[in-house]
A and B are shown apart, each in its own frame.
Chain A
Amino acid sequence: MRNRFDEQLFELNREIIEMGALCEEAISNAVKALVTGDVILAGSIKEKDNAIDQKERDIENRCMKLLLHQQPVARDLRTISAAMKLITDMERIGDQADDIAEIVVFLDGHIVDNMELIEEMAQETIKMVTNSVDAFVIKDIALAQQVIEQDDIVDDYFLRVKRGIISLITDQAVNGEVALDLLMISKYFERIGDHATNIAEWVIYSITGMHKGA
C-alpha cells in the first residue's frame, strides 16, 4: 500500500518538475522572442502554455486522487497540498509568458532602442523562476529563501523601467502604444517574479510545514 503511495508521490514530483521545466522554457523563449523580435518563436509559446495548462490539470487530478484514496497525513499531506498551490502559480507564469509573447507578435519585430533594462529585468526574472524550480527539485530551503529576496530586485527593476518609459514618453522618443506595451511587459515580468516567490514559499512550506502567512 505504502509502496504504491510512494510510487504515486514520485510520479507527482516528476510531473511538477516537468511543469516547472516547461515554465522555464516558456519564459526564456518569450524573452528570446522579445529581444530578437522573433515573431515565429513568440507564436510557438502558445503551445507551451497549452502544455502547461494540460500539465496543471493532470497534476490536479493526481493530487485529488491521492487525497481521496490515500487520505495522507502529516508530511505527505503537506507535500500534496503544497503541490496543488505550486501548480497554480506555475500555470500563471505560463499564462504571463504567453501574454508577453502576444505583445511581441503585436509589436511585430519592432524593437525599441533602450530595451537593455527590460532585458536585464527579464534575465533576473528567468533566474528567479529557475531558482524556484531548482529549490523544489532539490528541496533546498536556502535557495527558496534566495528567490524570495530576489523579488525585491525585480520589483526595483520594474520601478526603474517605469521611470525609463515615462521619460521615453515625455521625450516623445516612442509612440504611446509601444510605450504602454513595454510597461505591460515589464509588469508581466514583475508578476512572474511574484509567482516565483509564491512557489518558493510553498516549497518552504512543504519542507518545514511553516508558511509565511501563517
Chain B
Amino acid sequence: MTSKIFKSILSVAIAVLLASLVVITGMLYQYFGTMQESQLKDELSLAASATEQLGQSYLSQLDSDRYRLTWVDADGTVIFDTHADSATMDNHENREEIREALLTGTGSSVRQSSTLTEQTIYEAVRLEDGSVLRISVSRATAFVLVICMFQPILMVLFFAAGLSAWLARRMAKRVVEPLNNLNLDQPMENEAYEELSPLLHRIHTQHIEIEQQMQELQHKRDEFDQITDNMKEALVLLDHSGRILSINPAAKNLYEIASVTIGEDFLTLERKQFMREALEQAKVQGHAEFRAQKNGRDYQFDVNRIDSDGNTRGMVILAYDITEQVNAEKHRQAFTANVSHELKTPLQAIIGSAELMENGIVKTDDLPRFVGHIRKEASRLLYLIDDIIRLSQLDEGAEMDQEDVPLKQLAEDVCENLTDAAKLKDVTLEVTGEDVVMRGVRRLLYEILYNLCDNAIKYNRAGGSVTVSVSQRTNEICVSVKDTGIGIPSEHQDKIFERFYRVDKSHSKQSGGTGLGLSIVKHAVQYHHGKIVLASQVNVGTTITVLFDTTA
C-alpha cells in the first residue's frame, strides 16, 4: 500500500514539476528575448547616432564584451568590427539583416550557431551615408538553459521523492489504522469508513455461517466420539498411508496405550505378522479378517478398506472380544464328543453281550447275568438321555410352573429315595433345619437336592455321613449338603459343574452316573436365580451350599 501511494504521489510531483518547468522556461525565455531585443535596439540607435557623428573613432574606442558592432559599407564590405579584423571578413551584403536594413532602413535576424548551443541576434540600421551599422549579441538557447538547470532539477526531484515517501508512509498508516483496528469478531459494531460497510456485512454473514458449520461439525464429531467411546469393540481408523486417524478407548485398552497416537503409524501399535498381512490383504482385496490372542483373550479382527471415487481413502480395523464365543465353541465341541462317547459306551456293552448270546457262546446258566447286563446298560443309557433332555430343557430356558415348595419335606423325600443307595455304601443320611417354604419349580428343586445328595453318597467313604440342612436367613434361603467324603482337589473345583467333567476319569464306570448331575444342578440353581458356594477339602469332605435370593 505504501509503495502504491508513494508511486502516485511521486508521479504527480514529477508531472507538476516538469509541466511548470516547461511553462516557466518557455514564458521567461520569450520575455527575456523581447527585453533583450528592445535593449539591443536602444543600444544600436545610440551607437548609430554616435557613429554618424564620430565615425570609426567611436567604434574603435568602444570597449564592449557584450555587444559586437559591425559597420558595413553600402556595398557590403566590412569597414569595422569590434571583435574581429575587418580586413579578413567577407562581404556582408547577403546577410539577411543587412539586406533588410539597406532596403528598409532597419533589419533584424536570429541565427543559430552550428552546435545549437548559442543563438545570435542581429539588429542592423542604415546610417545616413548609406552604410549599415549592425549590433549583435549571443545568448544561450532554451535547450542549453534546460541542461544547465539539470542539476537543481535533479535535487528537487530527490527532495520530491523523499517527501513523497514520507507522505506515502504517513498516509498509508492513516488509511490503514482504522482497518487494523476493526474488530472482525463483531464486524457490525465497527465505526470505520462508510465504504467498508458492505465488506463488514459480508464478514458478518460469513461469521454466522462458519459458526453454524463449526457447530454442526462439532456436533457430528461429538456424536461419533460418543458412539465410538462407548462401544465395546475396538475401532481404529487409518488414512491411506496407514496413519492413525481415530482410535477409540476400547482400542486404546486393547493396545494398552494411554497417550493420544493420532497421526502415528499404526505399525507402532501392532507390528505382528498377521496384522501386517491382513493390512496388505485388505489393501488389495478390500477385506481381511483373522483371529488372534491379545492380553490372554481371543479377538476377532476385521480389516476393511474404505474406497471413495475409486481411490483408497483408508482402512477400518475393528476388533471384538470373542473369548466367550471361543470358549463356548470349545465347550460345544467337548460336549458333543463327550455325549457321543458316553452314549456309545453302554451301547457297545449291549451289542457285545447280545452278540455273544446270538452266537450261542453264552451258556444257559450265564444267560440271566448277560440279560441283566444288557438291562443295566440300557437303563444307564436311558438315564443319560433323560439327563441330556433335562439339560437341554434348562438350556432352552422354557417357562415352568412355579409353586410353593416345602424344602425340608422335599429333602426328606430325596433321602428316602436314596436310602437304598446309602445303605449300600454304608452312609448315614440326615436332614436338619427348619421348615422353609420356597416358591419355585418342584421338579428342579428335587433335581438339585437329589443330585447333590447322590454325589454326597457316591463320593463318600464307608461309615461316612451326609447332612442336608435347610435354613431361612434374611433375604435368602440356604440349603446345604455336607458330606464326609473324599473331597474335591482345589484345581478341579471350578470345573466340576461343567458337563461330563470328572475329577477322576477312571472313576466314571465305578461310581456310575452320567457326568451331568452337577451341570443340571448348576442350571437349575441359575433358573431360580440362586448361587452355589463350594467348600471342600481333600479326604475331609465337601459342603455344597445353595443360596436362593428371596428378594428377587
Interface residue ranges, A against B (CB under 8 Å): 7, 10, 13-14, 17-18, 20-21, 25, 133, 137-138
Contact = CB atoms under 8 A, between A and B. Distances in A.
13 contacts: A7-B241, A10-B241, A10-B243, A14-B265, A14-B267, A18-B271, A20-B271, A21-B267, A21-B276, A25-B273, A133-B271, A137-B271, A138-B268
A21 B273 contact: yes
B241 A17 contact: no
Given A10-B265, A13-B265, A14-B265, A21 B241 contact: no
Given A18-B276, A137-B267, 19 more contacts: A7-B241, A10-B241, A10-B265, A14-B242, A14-B265, A14-B267, A17-B265, A17-B267, A17-B268, A17-B271, A18-B267, A18-B271, A20-B271, A21-B271, A21-B272, A25-B273, A137-B268, A137-B271, A138-B268
Contacts of B276: 18, 21
A190 to B, nearest CB: 25
A190 B243 CA distance: 36
Contacts of B273: 21, 25
Contacts of B241: 7, 10
Contacts of A21: 267, 271-273, 276
Interface size class on chain B is: 10 to 19
A21 B272 CA distance: 6
Interface in B317-341: none
Nearest to A21: B271
A13 B264 CA distance: 10
Contacts of B267: 14, 17-18, 21, 137
A10 B244 CA distance: 13
A133 B272 CA distance: 12
A183 B271 CA distance: 32
B259 to A, nearest CB: 10
Contacts of B272: 21
Contacts of B243: 10
Interface string B260-276: 00000101100111001
Nearest to A24: B271
A20 B271 CA distance: 9
Interface of B: 241-243, 265, 267-268, 271-273, 276
A10 B241 CA distance: 9
B110 to A, nearest CB: 73
A7 B241 CA distance: 9
A133 B271 CA distance: 10
A10 B238 CA distance: 14
Nearest to B267: A17
A41 B265 CA distance: 30
Which of A13, A21, A133 neighbours the largest number of chain B CB atoms within 10 Å of its CB? A21
A13 B243 CA distance: 12
Contacts of B265: 10, 13-14, 17
Nearest to A17: B267
A179 B246 CA distance: 54
Contacts of A18: 267, 271, 276
Nearest to A11: B241
B249 to A, nearest CB: 19
A136 to B, nearest CB: 10
A137 B266 CA distance: 11
5 closest A-B pairs by CB: A21-B271, A17-B267, A137-B268, A17-B271, A14-B265
Which of B243, B267, B271, B276 neighbours the largest number of chain A CB atoms within 10 Å of its CB? B271
A17 B273 CA distance: 11
Nearest to B261: A138
B230 to A, nearest CB: 28
A60 to B, nearest CB: 20
Nearest to A16: B267
A200 B265 CA distance: 20
A10 B267 CA distance: 11
A17 B242 CA distance: 13
Contacts of A13: 265
B248 to A, nearest CB: 20
B194 to A, nearest CB: 45
A25 B272 CA distance: 8
Contacts of A10: 241, 243, 265
Contacts of B271: 17-18, 20-21, 133, 137
Contacts of A20: 271
A13 B267 CA distance: 10
A143 to B, nearest CB: 13
A131 to B, nearest CB: 13
A69 B194 CA distance: 55
A176 B253 CA distance: 51
A30 B6 CA distance: 80
A11 to B, nearest CB: 8
A7 B242 CA distance: 12
A134 to B, nearest CB: 9
Nearest to A7: B241
Contacts of A137: 267-268, 271
Nearest to B270: A21
A24 to B, nearest CB: 8
A144 to B, nearest CB: 15
A17 B265 CA distance: 10
Contacts of B268: 17, 137-138
Nearest to A48: B273
A7 B240 CA distance: 12
Nearest to B243: A10
A21 B279 CA distance: 15
A20 B268 CA distance: 11
Which of B241, B243, B267, B276 neighbours the largest number of chain A CB atoms within 10 Å of its CB? B267
A30 to B, nearest CB: 15
B16 to A, nearest CB: 50
B438 to A, nearest CB: 56
